[in-house]
Chains A and B, each alone.
Chain A
Amino acid sequence: MKQHRSKVYLLLALVAAGILSKFETSISPYYFQIIIYIGINVILASSLNLINGFAGQFSLGHAGFMALGAYTSAVITSSLHLTPGSAASYPMFAAALIAGGLVASIFGLLVGIPSLRLKGDYLAITTLGLGEIIRVIIQSLDFLGAARGFTGIAKLADFFWVYAVVAVVIFTIANLVRSTYGKGFLAVRDDEIAAEAVGVDATRYKIVAFITGAFFAGIAGGLYAHFVTYINPSQFGFLRSFEIIVMVVVGGMGNIAGVILAAAVLTILPEALRAVAQYRMVLYAFLLIVIMISRPQGLFGAKLDWGRLWRWIGRRPSPPAEGKA
């Protein structure tokens, strides 16, 4: 029943994305650009949320997956000489995005394997290292433009593509973790040994989380490449991974709605701070520290859903539920 209803939601979201994309020329291109970045960041943060928030694996290499997807899909669409708007461009672009996602998920598998042996901080530095290795390898490959970057990518990503993927990501992750199967993620996160003891295959859950998370990060990379039309290895450094993880933590680990909201807020924040020019990044860092100290369980806690969020906005808030230590 629940499954069924969420499929209807997905369909509605896809239709809405299609209809709204017809109006994309009627809003200011600047706001449009921010809306697209929000969508891409929602995909990145939600996919990382699956790895970090639900499966509890500390990954700092998300930018590497994004780079793989971006470069793979850019190579494919460039060699096919797709032109935006042509009939062939739609299925081909979809295929290129999926190919990018698949390449990323193969590497997700590679990253997932260390996670079977390593925990916490050690896993964090390993994933950060793998992300950097991916970046360095791309930087040394001349056919990808090396440090000069990859230019002349067709502008194929538009509102429909980005928000259709957003809908699919949210649908997939929400269904995955709410299913009986998906409860295993939370079990692995909360107590791996206990989970194993009751017959949950922790290895499998970790690997599934990494593969799925990496797949969507790769697709987000493909969308990004086909929106900005220029990619360069330095755009996928570990600072990018940090930005994504900040979205997850600010939104509340394992809180689907919270992470979406945080991705949006943290994309808008630097734009809103433009007026203060040179001070804005200092302010951004300061606000980040303040948010972490005042709301360590994330802005929206671990369990807050949309309904509670509305109530929270609507009335005098009750004391927050104590987060897990």
Chain B
Amino acid sequence: MRRLTFWLILGTAIALIGLWAGCGGGGNSNEILIGEYSAMTGTTATFGQSTHRGLMMAVDECNAAGGVLGKKIRLLTEDTQSKPEEAATAVTKLITRDGVKAVIGEVSSSRSLAAAPICQANGIPMVSNASTNPEVTKKGDYIFRVCYIDPFQGEVMARFAYNTLGIRKAAILKDIKNDYSIGLAQYFEETFVKLGGQVVATQAYSEGDIDFKAQLTALKSAEPEAVIVPGYYTEAALIVKQARELNMTIPFIGGDGWDSAKLVEIGGQAMNNTFFSTAYTADDPDSIVQNFVTKYTSRYNEKPDAFAALGYDAGLILFDAVRRAGSTDGPALRDALKTTRDVRGVTGSITIDADRNARKPIVIIAVVDGKMTYKETIQP
């Protein structure tokens, strides 16, 4: 019984610390509060932590350079546990209790879709770092993003496959649990068929799977000239590795979900003859990119992936808008974000279009001899 009392006291203490620690919000007049909701734990924590690190870099660099409007940026980060309803709670807390002036997040479109209506209703601008579903920014005029939308990337992948690689018969292997993957596959197929190509087989897998031999064996018998895998690197590396074991030497093509050093760490030489489209390459000689890669690598002891780069750019775009708006007032900030033109970020020169989506060049990376190498840039 005494033990129970002890634990109850401990639990209450933790609860109280939690409640009061969070109540410090509001910030003082020398700070601009920015909220971030991110998958720090749960199934997609690997992406959420990457974007968080990238954003931290942007915040610290901005503050080191004196902040914006003479104030320091203070970032409040809330975990979404990779769940949509947690995203809604986190964003409500950030806006109504902490009083943040803008919100950044999330990687997953499903979480952004749950949070966007709340930001819109409260008139707080939201910049999504990596939600590619077109629906997200349709939630209202306060919702922006710095990544591509699925239709644009799907189209680029199809053009690259048809024109550059000369593929006429393609097969698709998509992640059935992932809206990003389904969207990309759909838009790839639309463009590819329009160009005159043919999708000879479609197979699916689920996020978290590790064995893809059944799907690959089925795809193989349809004799495609290339396989499109519009998923995340976590599965893509294993897919390609197993395909090579099944004697499938044809090219594999992916999207920006593939962009991580882990892709070749896991896949090794098997990844040769694969291509993916992405927002940035660590090989880009541009000084902004190299500065980011060097600093990130020394700080976190690993190379930044595309998610880290997008996290960084989401911060960059937002701070730029605050600077131009001259205030952190919701409508002013929204209008400034809308007029973002040619802001040079790690993922290229970013312009926000009329649909509040980012327009920026797309980079094709080829894996050659177990290394990611820059292949070409496609302008929007």
Contacts and interface: CB of A to CB of B under 8 A. Distances in A.
Interface of A: 28-30, 33-34, 37, 139-140, 146-149, 151, 155, 224, 228-230, 232-235, 268-278, 280-281, 283, 287, 290-291, 294-295, 317, 319-320
17 contacts: A29-B96, A30-B89, A33-B89, A147-B178, A147-B179, A148-B135, A230-B114, A232-B84, A234-B177, A235-B83, A272-B15, A273-B15, A274-B22, A276-B14, A278-B41, A278-B79, A317-B5
A151 B5 CA distance: 45
Contact of A273 (B14, B85, B110, B182): B14
Contacts of A272: 14-16, 18-19
Contacts of B89: 30, 33-34, 37, 271
Given A278-B41, A294-B7, A151 B96 contact: no
A224 B84 CA distance: 12
A136 B241 CA distance: 27
A136 to B, nearest CB: 9
B263 interface: no
Contact of B41 (A29, A37, A275, A281): A281
B96 A30 contact: yes
A148 B15 contact: no
Given A272-B18, A275-B22, A146 B81 contact: no
B92 A234 contact: no
Q: List the 10 closest A-B pairs by CB distance, nearest first.
A: A272-B15, A272-B18, A275-B21, A148-B179, A275-B18, A30-B93, A29-B96, A230-B114, A30-B97, A232-B110
A241 B162 CA distance: 46
Contacts of B11: 269, 287
Nearest to B175: A147
Interface of B: 1, 3-5, 7, 11, 14-19, 21-22, 40-41, 77-79, 81, 83-85, 88-89, 92-93, 95-97, 109-110, 113-114, 117, 133, 135, 176-179, 182-183
Contacts of A232: 84, 110
Majority secondary structure, A binding face: helix
B88 A33 contact: yes
Contacts of B18: 271-276
Contacts of A151: 113, 135
Contacts of A28: 96-97
B15 A147 contact: no
B40 A278 contact: yes
Nearest to A280: B79
A287 B110 CA distance: 30
Given A30-B93, A228-B85, A274-B22, A283 B177 contact: no
Given A28-B96, A149-B110, A228 B178 contact: no
B15 A294 contact: no
Contacts of B5: 317
B92 A228 contact: no
B110 A283 contact: no
B184 to A, nearest CB: 12
Tell me which of A151, A235, A317 has the highest count of chain B C-beta atoms within 10 A of its own C-beta: A151
Contacts of B176: 139-140, 146-147
